[in-house]
Amino acid sequence: MTDTPETMTAQYRQDYRAPDYFIDTIDLDVQLQEPMTEVTAITRVRRQGEHQQPLILNGEQLILKRLAVDGLPYHSYEVSEHHLTLFNLPAECVITIVTELDPAANSALSGLYKSGDAYCTQCEAEGFRRITYYLDRPDILARYSTRITADKAKYPYLLSNGNKVASGALDGGRHFVQWQDPFPKPSYLFALVAGDFDVERSHYVTRSGRKVALEIFVDKGNLDRAGFAMESLINSMRWDEQRFGLEYDLDIYMIVAVDFFNMGAMENKGLNVFNAKFVLANPATATDGDYHGIERVIGHEYFHNWTGNRVTCRDWFQLSLKEGLTVFRDQEFSSDLGSRGVNRINNVRTVRGPQFAEDAGPMAHPIRPDVVIEMNNFYTLTVYEKGSEVIRMMHTLLGEAAFQAGMRFYFERHDGSAATCDDFVQAMEEASGVDLTRFRRWYSQSGTPELTVTDEYDAASGIYRLHVRQHTPPTQDQPQKLPLHIPLDIELYDQQGAAIPLQYQGKAIGNVLNVLDAAHTFEFEQVPVKPIPSLLRDFSAPVKLHYDYSDEALAFLMRFARNEFARWDAAQMLINKAVIEGVAQVQRGQGVELSQTLLAAFVAIVDDGELDPALKAEILALPSESTLAELFDVADIDAIHQVRDAIHTRLAEAFGARLVATYQSLRLDGYQVVHADMAKRALKGVVLGYLAALNAEHADALVREQYRAADNMTDTLAALQVANSYLLPCRAALLADFEGKWAKDGLVLDNWLRLIGSKPAADVLSEVKQAMNHPTFSIRNPNRLRALAGSFAMSNPVQFHAVDGSGYRFLTDLLIELNEVNPQVASRLITPLIQFKRLDGARKALIRAELTRLAKLEGLARDLFEKVSKALAQ
């Protein structure tokens, strides 16, 4: 039976009810065999309260072989496509369920499946039901014992959660390993891996003196690429002890890198399963960005041990309880270890770009959703990144000491249980004494708030006033909005760039203003001159700011703001103004003109010898076209592209000879993963792009030489990206050389696929389709698919949105094929098709036609049905 629109019923947060039954322990016996694996699950079940309701267990794609209750065959049950229902159970009993499943046929990569020659699992959100019949919901916490049996030659490593308690050889060349997890956990944290790997080993001694074994399992031949992941894991464990006082609690911590994985990684208790992209790195194969990604994701999954595992979610509507909090923690980890300013800039880019677009699209939802059809669709930037911003706002309002007190209170109260977002806010409120009543609305209200700020200065009295109005536009899911508690971080500067102390009624006040109402006026005394305000410093709230800055004021802040983020943000606002004006000029048939103030401000950045090269690179890198599209009610895709290119060229011309001198000054001898060198490589890549805009012939020679001389993937890929973006004569030869070197290494070849997909030329689709025939490419591999099709659809707006609709047809055809193979990946790739609100009428019509074609597809998966139906309802 296939799901139909009538059976795809929505689930509502308000309908949550505690389970009728609890499971205290589960003993699993997993016999790994080809083609069918046999799983025996023995669960201790107890009824909650006095009732006679049946026990309804979740299960998908399982064959029920045997069923017993308290050791005797049981016949009072029904089996459907998604459930096993048991009737007339005693108040407490032991249920034995034996099932068979086919991991090799599981292309959805949810539950137990094959990744290459290895078995692995992905159980979040609802994958455990593909392993055995179970109460597959996060508020069922049980202690797990897992015995795995397999062929020893093929699968010498048999891994699961917890601590290893037994192992041994069996007849027929098979062997077993027994694992016990002493901590109760929900089924989504179950993990199993079986395979033959190379292993990177180390250990960590916790602050209480316990020695923890650390093991990272990678495919054979990749051991030289696992060292940085181990270093990042040790740094994560040390940082969590120092910053949050949290210590690891098992005897062993394992990470397994697999190539076929829907997500980045999974925090299963004691046994993290990772997408290999976030584990494998050496200078020849990984960029500086890859190294940063590995450090961040290793940290993220480790930090989940407390924020997600020890305290988990009561229900999936509370997903941001663990994800928003843990993203905040991994951002702080990266900031403490690296450049806080640059890390903050990159976090904000994600929010202002794709997250704001999500807020404005058909899938707009609060960070704690109220209704879902398919839970996999809510692993979103809103839940993760905006959820992190909400945690960060609490940290801003409370301060570090009170925030840490709230964390301690949260763990003391909820350790070992399934909690809610309200539980977390309550702990923060009680520990700090700060009233967060209105702040709670951030959890229940969707959309992007907008702050409109005006000011006035009375020179006679020395009083400066800021008038702040907040407004959240209606979203598809919520037409009515209420005022939020918005922390607005500000600083005032005099004409010489000195900060003016903030005072009111004779007392010093802090930099964070509490915007609580629809309109609020803040008054500051003893302000000697009309100040230049720096507003929303460090992006203190995920809002859109409207303030009528002059070009001169923004150039001033680029030079004098004490906060690194504020300097970058002023540059962004200056470019945004130029883009808005430039698009209007292009639409009138005029050329793009830039103010001398803008050009001089950016030249000053290049000339600033004291500025961190990493921050300089961030300021000089122009906003993406998708981020710029958010500035318009109707985004003119072609005009935005034309204007952005024109601004880039005008800046290059203003920089002139400085570019070559700067480029030459950034050469390094040897490769090191240290901030100073990574900063120089980042700036060198940005400068090379400006050189290509200034003189393509000269840049072609530089790109060829950089590619030839590069001793690391960062410089190699930077050269390739410039050759690809500017269609330099060397493009074809360099791409062919790169493909030849890395044709058998899918993870590295993903870079080549991304370049193919992002080629800024009308023939890009023919190259994309040709690349889909490459031996390394497989539609069943999410990494390959995201690299090629994802880069075309999400990072090549002019070609994807071609007016003939070819990009839309290509993606729709691919989604139809993926609907049968991996609906979860399809649901992520559909994003640029459903976010058409800002497009012109002709493009909207083309997209609607493709979405209608999808909607009529027989057997459309729940993942796609939910998004397609909401998009068509716009």
pLDDT in tens, 402-431: 999 999 999 999 999 999 999 999 999 999
**Burial call 138-156: b when 16+ CB within 10 Å, e when fewer:** bbbbbbbbbbbbbbbebbe
Model confidence over 808-846: pLDDT tens digits?
999 999 999 999 999 999 999 999 999 999 999 999 999
Both tokens assigned to 800: 């994807």
Check whether 578 has a pLDDT greater than 60.
yes
Q: Give CA–CA dist 745/709, Å, rounded.
A: 21
A 10 A CB-CB count for 480 gives 7
Average of pLDDT values for 360-373?
96
Amino acid at the residue 793: A
The predicted structure's pLDDT at residue 8: 73
* Residues forming a β-bridge with 46: 22, 92
For position 268, what pLDDT does the model report?
Answer: 98
For residues 301 and 193, is the Cβ–Cβ distance under 8 A?
A: no
**Cα torsion angle, 735, 738, 742, 743, sign:** positive
Do residues 801 and 846 lie in contact, with contact meaning Cβ atoms separated by under 8 Å?
no
Q: Where in the chain is the domain with CATH 2.60.40.1730?
A: 17-195
Residue 18 structure tokens? 């505690």
Please tell me the distance from the alpha carbon of residue 599 to that of residue 580, in angstroms, as a whole number.
16
In angstroms, rounded to a whole number, what is the distance separating the alpha carbons of residues 871 and 847? Answer: 10
Please state, in angstroms and rounded to a whole number, the distance separating the CA atoms of residues 725 and 712.
20
With CA atoms as reference, report the closest residue to 813 among 804, 805, 802, 803: 805
Structure tokens at 248: 């690891």
DSSP state of 796: -
CATH 2.60.40.1730 for the 17-195 domain, yes or no: yes
Q: What are the φ/ψ torsions at residue 368 (nearest 5 degrees)?
A: -115, 95
Length of the chain (residues): 874
> What is the per-residue burial (b if ≥16 Cβ within 10 Å, else e) of 667-694?
eeeebebebebbbbbbbbbbbbbbbbbb
Mean pLDDT of 782-808: 98
C-alpha torsion angle, residues 683, 689, 692, 694 (rounded to 10): -70
Q: Give percent of the chain with pLDDT exceeding 90.
A: 99
Residue 143 has a pLDDT of 98
359, 362, 364, 365 alpha-carbon torsion, rounded to 10°: 180
CB count in 10 Å sphere of residue 392: 24
pLDDT at 2 over 50: no
Residues acting as catalytic residues? 301
In this prediction, residue 1 carries a pLDDT of 34
- pLDDT tens digits, residue range 30-58? 999 999 999 999 999 999 999 999 999 99
Calculate what percentage of the chain has a pLDDT beyond 70. Answer: 99
* CB-CB contact of 632 with 583 (8 Å): yes
Query: What is the rounded average pLDDT of the residues 592-613?
Result: 97
Residue with tokens 């976030």: 278
Task: Kindly report, as residue ranges, where domains of CATH 2.60.40.1840 are found in the chain.
Answer: 450-550
Contact 544, 595 (CB under 8 A): no
Rounded to 5 degrees, what are φ and ψ at 383? -65, -40
Helices (H) and strands (E) in the chain, counts: 31, 34
Residue 526 has pLDDT above 80, yes or no: yes
In degrees, rounded to 5, the angle at the alpha carbon of residue 257 between the alpha carbons of residues 251 and 263 is 105
749-766 average pLDDT score:
98
- pLDDT interval class at 132 (50, 70, 90): very high
Residue among 678, 626, 681 at smallest CA distance from 349: 626
d(CA 322, CA 266): 13
**What pLDDT is stored for residue 78 in this prediction?**
98
Q: How far apart are CA 511 and CA 562, in angstroms?
A: 13
Tens-place pLDDT, residues 160-181: 999 999 999 999 999 999 999 9
609: CB partners within 8 A, 6+ apart:
none
* pTM beyond 0.85, yes or no: yes
pLDDT at 608 over 80: yes
Tell me how far apart the alpha carbons of residues 735 and 252 are, in angstroms, rounded to a whole number.
Answer: 43
502 pLDDT exceeds 60? Answer: yes
Predicted confidence (pLDDT) per residue in 83-123, tens digit: 999 999 999 999 999 999 999 999 999 999 999 999 999 99
- Determine the CATH number of domain 450-550: 2.60.40.1840
pLDDT bracket for residue 9 (50, 70, 90):
confident
The Cα 693–Cα 208 span in angstroms is 57
Q: pLDDT tens, 627-640?
A: 999 999 999 999 99
pLDDT at residue 6, as a whole number: 43
| Backbone torsions φ then ψ of 628, nearest 5 degrees | -65, -30
Q: Backbone phi, then psi, for 174, in 5-degree steps?
A: -100, 165
